[in-house]
Amino acid sequence: MLNGSGPELDGHRPRGRARQRAYLVAAAREGDQVQFGELRELLRTAGVAGVGELVQRREHPHPNSYLGPGKLEQLKNSLGEADANLVACDDELSPRQERNLESALGVPVIDRTAVILDIFASHAHTAEGKLQVELAQLEYNLARMRGLWSHLERLGGGIGTRGPGETQIETDRRLARDRIAALKRRLDRVHSNRSVMRAERERAHLPQVALAGYTNAGKSTLLNALTGAAVPVGDRLFHTLDPTTRVLRTGGRDYLLTDTVGFIRKLPHQLVDAFGATLEETRLADLILHVADASVPEDQLATMTAAVEDTLLEIGAVDAPRVLVLAKADQLGEQRRSELVRRRPDAVLVSAHTGEGLDVLCDRIQAEFARTLRRVELLVPYGDGGRLAELHALAGDLEREDTADGVRVRARVPASLVHRYAPFMLSTRPSS
């Protein structure tokens, strides 16, 4: 391994903490796949061991208790046999389902959303990341407060009486809402800073390329390999939460390449909302590199790429062209490799570890932008050195000639930027 595997990989949970042992449960329709592997991976990242699995086949999960009464009974017995002290559910539970499951089973029950939120909370490092995670957690907990205080509500007595519990819930909810409002205000301030930064980058007029993809696909490793950046990498889910942008120089031209938070199937909507500003980096990119882990079996690859496409749609990243990048090619056997090429002829196969395909990927990035390039001929006055420097970064294949009136420049620039050079224009035509 070239990157990562620092001591932090196993040490992100304090040692000595009682090992939690979770029984994994899911309700799914007949014929629908249940991939417990991913929930296990999420739990492992959160420091919890998976010790058993149970699937209930139903058209819809039970509205009150997620599992039906028969399966509940079976699960209760299995918990003892597996010595499990926790139940983890592969879906987001309604507060009522969660409460009923807990009282029927006598152990804490957590859902997929809570696990993902917990991981985000322990991986958030920057002020913005922490605020975004806290906001998502509060939104999630707010819906559950009634559940938390239900035993006190019952103490309140019959219909029409206002018990102590109810007052407490109202106080807690008000506090939570106040905190949510305060967090949103603080995030707005952080976001306006980010917009300023983005505006500066846009002034630099470099094409923006975003790495998007499933968590653990290899996005950060690829950014490091392409740009020499040192973004931490790890074999755990949601390692990266904060966006990092680096300059990628290829074909004599500069591009801004951004690595950001990964996606997952059933990504909690609270996180999509709270991470709006972070996801903006992807939404506003000129080109999206959809990075997928080529080393997983075909059915998982299909599920993962579909989940990423759905999330891109959800965050409104619909305009920019996409390139599918199949990462970790060094893990492929000959047969799987040719199958992948056959099934996804447009994809680029790369390995950040061996360097395979990185040049093809760079060519592909250039080609995507080249489609929009226009050949321009300009006369830039000697006094406008800034404009010349900008052109040098933007247009790699630039030819210049000093004349009495200024610098005569022949170059190819992205169509969207041609208007910036209108005052200096001698001629323009589509690039060939």
Residues forming contacts to Mg ion in the complex (CB under 5 A) are 220, 239-240
Q: Using CB under 6 A, pick the residue from 137, 208, 270, 351 that binds ligand GTP.
A: 351
DSSP alpha helix (H) spans, 205-267: 219-227
Q: Which listed option, Mg ion, ligand GTP, none, makes contact with residue 352 (CB within 5 to 8 Å by class)? A: ligand GTP
Stretch near ligand GTP under the rule CB under 6 A, chosen from 29-37, 311-319, 322-330, 408-416: 322-330
Three-class SS state of 186? helix
Burial of 359 (0-12, 13-18, 19+ CB in 10 A): exposed
Q: Using CB under 6 A, pick the residue from 51, 109, 327, 413 that binds ligand GTP.
A: 327
Q: How far is the CB of 218 from Mg ion (least distance, A)?
A: 8
Q: Using CB under 6 A, pick the residue from 238, 255, 421, 424 that binds ligand GTP.
A: 238
Q: Are 72 and 105 contacting, i.e. CB atoms less than 8 angstroms apart? A: yes
Smallest CA-to-CA distance from 332 within 357, 315, 349 is with 349
Q: Using CB under 6 A, pick the residue from 237, 277, 376, 394 that binds ligand GTP.
A: 237
Q: Which listed option, Mg ion, ligand GTP, none, makes contact with residue 372 (CB within 5 to 8 Å by class)? A: none
Q: Which listed option, ligand GTP, Mg ion, none, makes contact with residue 65 (CB within 5 to 8 Å by class)? A: none
Tokens of 351: 């390995």
8 binds ligand GTP (CB under 6 A): no
Contact track, ligand GTP, 183-222, x by CB under 6 A: ------------------------------x-xxxxxxx-
Of 220 and 227, nearer to Mg ion (C-beta) is 220
Residues 129-158 close enough to bind ligand GTP by CB under 6 A: none
Burial of 192 (0-12, 13-18, 19+ CB in 10 A): exposed
Residues 395, 304: Cα–Cα separation, whole Å: 36
Q: How far is the CB of 294 from ligand GTP (least distance, A)?
A: 9
Tokens of 12: 């992100």
Smallest CA-to-CA distance from 209 within 83, 87, 106, 317 is with 317
State how far the alpha carbon of 383 is from the alpha carbons of 391, 398, 406, in Å. 15, 19, 8
Summarize as ranges the residues that interact with ligand GTP (CB under 6 A): 1, 3-4, 213, 215-221, 233-235, 237-240, 262, 327-328, 330-331, 351-353
